[in-house]
Structure 1
Amino acid sequence: MTLQKIGLIVTKIVLKPLPAKLFHIVLLSIFLTIPCSGAWAQEVPAKGVAVPKPQQPDSTRVTLTPVELPESTDSLTLAETDSLTRVKTDSLKPKKSSGLDAVVKMKAKDYRKLDQRKKTATLYNEAEIYYKDIELKAGIIIMDYSKNEVFAGRIKDSLGNYSQYPYFKQGNNIVEADSIHFNTVTKKARVWNSRSDQGEFRVIAEMTKKENDSVYFLKNAKFTTSKNIDNPEYYFKARKIKLVPGKKVVVGFTNLVVADVPTPVAIPWAFFPMSQEAASGLIFPTYGDSNSQGFYLQNGGWYFALGDYYDLALTGDYYTNGSYGLRAQSSYAVRYKFSGNVNLRFENIIQSERGLPDYQRARNYMIQWSHSQDSKNNPNSRFSASVNMGSSQYYRQSLNMANVGAGLNNTLQSSVSYSKTFQTVPQVNMSLTATHSQNTNTQSINMTLPTLQASVDRIYPFASDDEPKKGIIKNINLQYNLRGENRIQTYDSLFFKPQMFRDARAGVQHSIPLSTNFKVFKFFSVSASTSYQETWVFDTERRTYNAARDTVLISTDKGFDAFRTYNFSSSIGTTIYGTFNFGEDKKIQAIRHVMRPAVSYTYTPSFDQYWDTYQLDAAGNYGEYTRFNGGLFGAPGQSYSNNIGLALNNTFEAKVRNDDEDSADAEPKKVMLLNNLNLSTSYNMAADSLAWSPVRITGGTTFFKDKLNLNFGTTLDPYAIDNAGRRIDTYNINNGGSLFRMTSANVTLNYSITSEDGKSGQGKNEDSQTARNGGRTDDLFGTATDLGDSRNSMFDEDDTNEKPKKGKGGFYNAELPWDLRLAYSLTYSNAKRENKISSSSIMLSGNVDITPRWKMGFSSGYDFVQKGVTFTQLRFERDLLSWRMDFNWVPFGDNTYWGFFIGIKSSVLSDIKYDKRQVPDRTLGN
């Protein structure tokens, strides 16, 4: 008994002097050690005798009670625990245990309670535990370190409502639930009412069983792409789910539920890949029927994830009448180097049946390639490509695209170029370019394969590099430019056929411009230049008279030939400022007028040495021609000219009192009255008649805070015309008319506005196909519909994520945001006394938010000359949160069309949709 009492006394003496924080650490060290079969006290140093464990209860035993601890984070390891629970002279070695092998951090707002008998630790209110890659937060956390188990649950607030739901994170996997029970050793867990994100899916399950780090089993689960997981607008309900995070989801019998109403749409089982990396897979087609091609399967194929830098999608269409389409699309990118995409399309379109009079067949293709290089990759060399070439009727006849904006555009253009800069002295620049231009109306094609350009940087022969370039002599500079072309002119039907290459023409032009500039009388800027050009050709023309046929034969001679030309030009100009002050007490305080007059002179001699004569007919009449006719860089001129050019540029600004500011000292505002008002004409001193050129006047300005743009132009001819409409060498005023005769005039007006003051409505149609084809990026010609890509929406991403503002409700909208665009064009023609308006049309487009989730748009116009409505389109779209629904309708015209679409926005479930449309009636060419 004596030894026992002494041992107890020793134990108490050792515990009492410990600081409060150390006392807590000792208690927590018990939790962090796997349960042991016994406990040890410290020895009495003086005797060195171990104190035996008591066999009977002791009334003086210390009882643990909940203790309020400060908000702090404790980090303990086994090494620290050992140093606090025993000293080096301990005669009893502890049993080897499988304790925690990493730092554990714990925190709770109210208290942390340690029960040594039950071997549990309780953290209450805003409890948090961090262990390895595990992060756990909850209202209450109970850790049973005898079983290596952790329980996390909710707590009730003062109103009796549950709060602080458990939050569990391991690696990238996050789970929110009502309660969580897991084992820290086996990694197994049970979760009630779990909520987690798996890629684009959000999953909520009644019961979740975590088998290990990579496999979960879910019971009575709902999965959706809705952002509101507690009250989703739709979900798929599955009885059983096997989930491998980041890899796959396998579900049993599943049916679709919309607004908590089960639908008959169900599947017996399904597999969803959840890989974070791109994976190859099947692209499901869309089923439907068309006007004249029968039933179809569209946009079905296979997606190939070829690597981290590029991919490939092969899709196709098939119609029951034999029509089909094939497409290949690939995107590639290497960060900080280059990026691009390739799009190849081919369609074989058949109408009616072979042998019937209305049978038609067309083969259309489209080749698109876009490549851009990062400017930081190589500043001295650059490669870029923008290819848009194909059949002239592709956009008008395609069965997989309704793109009126691209169809109305008459030009397809392409360019592929490589440029390099040689850092020499002087610097040398070189570029190699292949271009393509195609008129879809005439089906003519112009190509350069390739164009070579080279230039030597400007050289100042009479001034050193670091010397200021002042005066006539020191400002003299020269350059060298080289341009070589291999040009092909052909038609759509001959594209890439042998005849196309036989008709190619080639040529090279060298030019050396020499120029200088200086000032005279301080206020006048003078520039003078001369240019020498040498042109090499490889095909020349020869004309001979055939007496037997009484006709002129034109033949082509192959071989090298060249001609040389030169010219001289100079100009003088200045700037004149004029200000008209009306007083600071006036609304318009002043008007500023800036004039920039310029006079130029150009001399071009005659190059008669390159002209020959040939017999025109049997009567002995002769004509003149040059063998360089039809050259790539023109032909040498036979007549010389001495032209004097006159130009005047005007700008008008007003200084207006600023009534918007409260302060009387507010600065006045500058208002642009006319951005520019330009007048230009010329006089040829070498001409024996019609020496004056028509006067051209152009101008432009803006109104209403730059919302309205106005541009105008007119051509005034000083000469009269005869009854045949030809210009005669008689001034119009001397022929009984006015000083000038207006031969043409044009006015364009563009106006855009939104319901938000100070902003312009820009439209939201950024369809890449329309932009690539050179069409308008706004929606004045409607929005394009790519049947293989339903991602285009009238809503911005900010619109769909935006919370309702004041005055906006779910079923009505008090503010009704809107935007409007207007374009008007007028052209007047009077070159031959026709005195008529050749074109006058107005185009309108706009969008309005009926509710925060409903948008309506329209595009239309009216032609005042043809007296008819232009292309008209009506658009309706409903944002259904996780779904999108739209309806497009072209009610009349050559492009009559309607289409309805409803589907899930998420790319994972993009195949869950309903798509019905009636494409325009196609008229195929032969």
Structure 2
Amino acid sequence: MTFQKPSHTFTKIHLKALHTNNFKILFTLSFTVFINTLSFAQDIPKKPKKINRSVKDSVVITSRDSLLIPEISEKSQDSTLTDSIAPKKELLENIVTYHAEDYTKFNQKKQKLYLYNKASIDYGDMNIVAGNITIDYTKNTVYAKGITDSIEGYTQKPVFTQGSNVVEPDSIIFNTDTKKALIFNSKTEQGEGTVIAQITKKENDSVYFLKNAKYTTAENLDDPEYYIKLRKAKVVPGKKIVTGLANLFIYDVPTPIGLPFGFFPQSEKHTSGIIIPSFGEQNDRGFFLQNGGYYFAISDYIDLAALGDYYTNGSYAARLESTYSIRYKFSGNLGFRYENIINSERGFPDYSKSTIYNLRWSHSQDSKANPNSRFSASVNLGSSTYYRTSVNQINTGSFLNNTLSSSISYSKTFQGEPQVNFSLTATHSQNTNTETINMTLPTLQGSIGRIYPFVSKSGTKKGIIQNINLQYNLRGENRITTTDSLFFKKEMFDEAKAGFQHTIPLNTNFKLFKYFSLSAGTNYNEVWTFKTVDKYFDPIEREEVVETINGFDSFRTYNFSSSLGTTIYGMFNFEKEGKDRKIKAIRHVMRPSISYSINPAFDQYYDSYEVVSADGLTTSDVEFTRFDESIFGTPSKTFSSSMGISLSNNIEAKVRDKDSTATEPKKVILLNNLNFSTSYNFAGDSLQWSPLRMSGGTQLFNNKMSVNFGATLDPYALDNNNNRINKFNIDNGGSLFRLTSANVTTSWSLSSKDGDKKGDKNNDKNDSNFFPEDVLPKDLDYANQQIRPDDDKEEKPPSEHYNYKIPWSLRIAYALNYSNSTRQNQISSHSLMFSGNIELSPKWSIGASSGYDLKNAGFTYTQLTFGRDLLSWRMNFSWVPFSTRTSWNFFIGIKSSILQDLKYEKRKQPDITL
């Protein structure tokens, strides 16, 4: 609305000749002035708010409140608020906040503000920090540069920040009106790399244009070891970099590696894209492309990589790899691999064709997701020959695997008194040598927590009665045994065995004579089965016949057991007055225990059949039980009353600490454990003593070396046929015990840090980023390995000379097994395995893993590895010098994942003939 001023109203007054009425003329003028002063031009008053009419008993009631008529405020009558002419725009739209340490000067004539030394300015979402800043209010520009010092040079370079974008140029000119800027010699982080440009034109908040720029992931931006030169480029921060002609420079030396145009994705989110394959040649399969495909960034929670291999002789392979994760709930990965392998060419005598596959799945649930239920999975199944015959380089390090195992489980706990636990598990175990597969589909387990029926109201459990407790356990299985050829076929389910086992243990414990702990208990066991057998002798075929009977059946057993044990402490003190001996004392802890158990005979579950000779005479009776095929064993048919004896030892020493400031002696473990065990069967008619078993272990050299040993000693002698007889070996002219088996295993981890008195807490950690301390073979496919960051590496000051203490690490494993159960007196296995690495320089690393079979006099699988850290690049070389899998792989490439396809790889794969 426009307020009409009186001066804008023209009133025409016609004067008639010979007729004058002064009163009427004065009244007319006054009325005109009054109307024009209080009236609104072209204004339609707002309609008052209507009140809805309501009809009641056919009577229309209409009401109108005079207060609803809007009042006209004086403020709304100001015509300047709705003037058609826009007001003049201010020089700066936002408030400018500035600061400088030395001085702040404003030139009124030039309309310029000068800031000097550690100056900063904030304008909207823009922030500039520099040594020298000038603000021109007439041109709406901000000019920032550093300070030139005769000693320190050019210092306090500008740092320009707008939103999440940070630019570090030599100088900058920014227009606060257009939001455009000219940036000189800038360094801007874009994703994992940095863009260094001579001139940058900032078009708006999301577009930059560059000229003669460098893109690199090097750490030293003043002298990068490599960069990609971008003659002209467009940068959209956080999204992409689009370039014209670009090529690779190494230490400012141009290379012919380049592109007429390029595209560098800079998204901070997962994005889909092509995975560049590696190429090579194999003697039996021709040229190949490996590990190429496409990566699908499905969402923030799941991704998928579809990869494939192709060989010119027709062989091919496909892989699907997926990773998923939901924070605080679960995470996992899933992978499927399939290979169709062709050897030689069709028509040749060595031509063969085979298919192999492998399925892997790992799933883990976050403990915070649900404290009362848990689901987990660890699956590794497939063809038994997969790792041995796979031609893909990523499987080289796993070809020694001879077992595949899987487990999928779900468990739930029902809180309460008593607590109830429930779990459902599917397991798989596969021997890749025999190609035998054992599965349980599924295994059901349930239990009811321990119940104390006679505990007092206060909750204390004292004495034999109050400590009586019982439990209930349930286990059900559907067990399948099959082979590779029948895996997941109908035939594999024909021989499946199912059953349930119920156990109820009843126990109690109490103190006896103050120093002894006595426990006693009984166990009730009930087995259900759905298949039984019947056996008889076929006189015509002269062989045993076994018939399977389908149907429910069960048996019940029980036993009794008790044990008595104590702990004995002994201290041997070597200290004397006036003498500071190195060994202060030796402490010996012994834990002897005696157990007794009774297992009744359940011969009611046993039958027998007669074996008839060809003459019709009965030669023998054969006993059997119809539960021979039960997956939970068979009931015992012999009475057993046996006593078990065991003794465990622990020996420690207190020695003088080398640290003179220590107030207490140092504790050293001499024997971590030394155990002896045997048993005696009172119900046996012969060979009542079982062999004496001994085992032990200790740690040596400040826990760097571990030693474990064991032996089996038999008190009975052997006859001339090397069979055990009921006669002690000492009574047969021999020693008290006869050594039947023994084993020794040791492992020793050494490194150059072990001798460093200033060593840190991570002395046993390998510093190399290339080779883990492991005696197992390594993966040769470096192109598919994720580079570990160097964040845990401490920054070391540069030195003119390399440290004469060359970093190194070594791990040695030794195993010896001896067998003499039937007087063979031989070493069954004898091997030495080792692995290690040496850092010849801060950037060079050499590693090896191998072993030697001392019994068969031959080297085991051997692998040599070489690594070179090229700052932003890495170079690796792996070599298997001999064996049927002789191969090598050379790789050089950029560490950054954004440029992981900028690489060179050459390899020789093992020529595997199936």
Question: So what's the TM-score if we normalise by structure 1?
Answer: 0.86
Match of 1:749 in 2: 746
Q: Match for 2:790 among 768, 772, 797?
A: 797
SS of the residue corresponding to residue 899 of structure 2 reads: coil
Query: Structure 1's 643 and 777: CA in aligned 2 closer, same or farther, altered over 3 A?
Result: farther
- Note if 1:897 corresponds to 2:887: yes
- Note if 1:128 corresponds to 2:120: yes
The Cα shift of 1:787 comes to 6.2
Q: Which residues in structure 2 correspond to 1:194-343 (within 5 Å)?
A: 194-343=186-335
Deviations 1:53-93 (A, max 9, x none): xxxxxxxxxxxxxxxxxxxxxxxxxxxxxxxxxxxxxxxxx
Do the aligned residues in 2 keep the contact of 1:177 with 1:193 (CA within 8 Å)? yes
The Cα shift of 1:802 comes to 4.6
The Cα shift of 1:884 comes to 0.7
- Note if 1:876 corresponds to 2:871: no
Do the aligned residues in 2 keep the contact of 1:154 with 1:178 (CA within 8 Å)? yes
Amino acid corresponding to residue 280 of structure 1 in structure 2: S
- Note if 1:626 corresponds to 2:625: yes
Matches of 1:477 and 1:516, distance apart in 2: 6
The Cα shift of 1:228 comes to 1.6
SS of the residue corresponding to residue 493 of structure 2 reads: helix
- Note if 1:734 corresponds to 2:726: no
SS of the residue corresponding to residue 485 of structure 1 reads: strand
Amino acid corresponding to residue 635 of structure 1 in structure 2: T
Matches of 2:192 and 2:900, distance apart in 1: 12
Query: Structure 1's 745 and 763: CA in aligned 2 closer, same or farther, altered over 3 A?
Result: farther
- Note if 1:152 corresponds to 2:133: no
- Note if 1:839 corresponds to 2:829: yes
- Note if 1:780 corresponds to 2:767: no
Matches of 2:268 and 2:108, distance apart in 1: 45
Match of 2:62 in 1: none
Q: Match for 1:599 among 594, 598, 610?
A: 594
SS of the residue corresponding to residue 616 of structure 1 reads: strand
Q: Match for 2:603 among 608, 629, 644?
A: 608
SS of the residue corresponding to residue 604 of structure 2 reads: helix
Match of 2:77 in 1: none
Matches of 1:97 and 1:402, distance apart in 2: 66
More displaced 10-residue stretch of structure 1: 401-410 or 697-706: 401-410
SS of the residue corresponding to residue 473 of structure 1 reads: helix
Q: Match for 2:461 among 463, 469, 473?
A: 469
Matches of 1:858 and 1:837, distance apart in 2: 28
Match of 2:538 in 1: 546
Do the aligned residues in 1 keep the contact of 2:518 with 2:565 (CA within 8 Å)? yes
Matches of 2:763 and 2:193, distance apart in 1: 38
Match of 2:688 in 1: 691
Q: Which residues in structure 2 correspond to 1:433-582 (within 5 Å)?
A: 433-464=425-456, 466-582=458-574
Matches of 2:640 and 2:891, distance apart in 1: 65
Q: Which residues in structure 2 correspond to 1:360-375 (within 5 Å)?
A: 360-375=352-367
Query: Structure 1's 160 and 656: CA in aligned 2 closer, same or farther, altered over 3 A?
Result: closer
Do the aligned residues in 2 keep the contact of 1:176 with 1:194 (CA within 8 Å)? yes
Matches of 1:304 and 1:233, distance apart in 2: 33
Do the aligned residues in 2 keep the contact of 1:485 with 1:507 (CA within 8 Å)? yes
The Cα shift of 1:668 comes to 1.1
Q: Which residues in structure 2 correspond to 1:626-645 (within 5 Å)?
A: 626-645=625-644
Deviations 1:840-871 (A, max 9, x none): 11111111111111111111221110111222
Deviations 1:158-201 (A, max 9, x none): 42611111110111111111110111121111111111011112
Query: Structure 1's 762 and 157: CA in aligned 2 closer, same or farther, altered over 3 A?
Result: closer
The Cα shift of 1:420 comes to 0.6
Matches of 2:913 and 2:625, distance apart in 1: 46
Do the aligned residues in 2 keep the contact of 1:218 with 1:242 (CA within 8 Å)? yes
Amino acid corresponding to residue 723 of structure 1 in structure 2: N
SS of the residue corresponding to residue 395 of structure 1 reads: helix
Matches of 1:777 and 1:747, distance apart in 2: 25
The Cα shift of 1:101 comes to 3.7
Q: Which residues in structure 2 correspond to 1:90-129 (within 5 Å)?
A: 96-129=88-121
Deviations 1:782-807 (A, max 9, x none): 322346613367xx6247x6534465
Match of 1:830 in 2: 820
Q: Match for 1:384 among 376, 380, 384?
A: 376
Deviations 1:627-649 (A, max 9, x none): 11121101111112111000000
Matches of 2:764 and 2:851, distance apart in 1: 18
SS of the residue corresponding to residue 143 of structure 2 reads: strand
The Cα shift of 1:781 comes to 2.2
Do the aligned residues in 1 keep the contact of 2:280 with 2:908 (CA within 8 Å)? no
The Cα shift of 1:778 comes to 4.4
More displaced 10-residue stretch of structure 1: 250-259 or 651-660: 651-660
Matches of 2:110 and 2:772, distance apart in 1: 72
Structure 1: runs of 5 or more not aligned: 1-93, 768-775
Query: Structure 1's 721 and 764: CA in aligned 2 closer, same or farther, altered over 3 A?
Result: farther
Structure 2: runs of 5 or more not aligned: 1-85
- Note if 1:887 corresponds to 2:871: no
Matches of 1:636 and 1:152, distance apart in 2: 93
Match of 1:660 in 2: 659
Matches of 1:531 and 1:765, distance apart in 2: 55
Amino acid corresponding to residue 684 of structure 1 in structure 2: N
Matches of 1:493 and 1:703, distance apart in 2: 49
Do the aligned residues in 2 keep the contact of 1:385 with 1:415 (CA within 8 Å)? yes
Query: Structure 1's 170 and 443: CA in aligned 2 closer, same or farther, altered over 3 A?
Result: same
The Cα shift of 1:269 comes to 0.5
Q: Match for 1:816 among 802, 806, 812?
A: 806
Amino acid corresponding to residue 227 of structure 1 in structure 2: E
Amino acid corresponding to residue 714 of structure 1 in structure 2: A
Match of 2:68 in 1: none
The Cα shift of 1:777 comes to 7.9
More displaced 10-residue stretch of structure 1: 495-504 or 465-474: 465-474
SS of the residue corresponding to residue 839 of structure 2 reads: strand
Do the aligned residues in 1 keep the contact of 2:608 with 2:624 (CA within 8 Å)? yes
Do the aligned residues in 1 keep the contact of 2:707 with 2:744 (CA within 8 Å)? yes
Amino acid corresponding to residue 779 of structure 1 in structure 2: D
The Cα shift of 1:440 comes to 1.2
The Cα shift of 1:105 comes to 1.9
Matches of 1:646 and 1:696, distance apart in 2: 11
Query: Structure 1's 675 and 857: CA in aligned 2 closer, same or farther, altered over 3 A?
Result: same
The Cα shift of 1:756 comes to 1.0
The Cα shift of 1:813 comes to 4.4
SS of the residue corresponding to residue 730 of structure 2 reads: helix
Query: Structure 1's 740 and 766: CA in aligned 2 closer, same or farther, altered over 3 A?
Result: farther
- Note if 1:411 corresponds to 2:403: yes
The Cα shift of 1:358 comes to 1.3
- Note if 1:679 corresponds to 2:669: no
Deviations 1:556-592 (A, max 9, x none): 1111000111111100000011111111532112111
Deviations 1:442-486 (A, max 9, x none): 111111111110001111111146421110000000001000001
Amino acid corresponding to residue 616 of structure 1 in structure 2: V
The Cα shift of 1:527 comes to 0.5
Amino acid corresponding to residue 820 of structure 1 in structure 2: L
SS of the residue corresponding to residue 898 of structure 2 reads: coil
Matches of 1:808 and 1:671, distance apart in 2: 42
Between the two proteins, what is the percent identity of the paired residues? 58
Matches of 1:294 and 1:460, distance apart in 2: 73
Question: So what's the TM-score if we normalise by structure 2?
Answer: 0.87
SS of the residue corresponding to residue 368 of structure 2 reads: coil
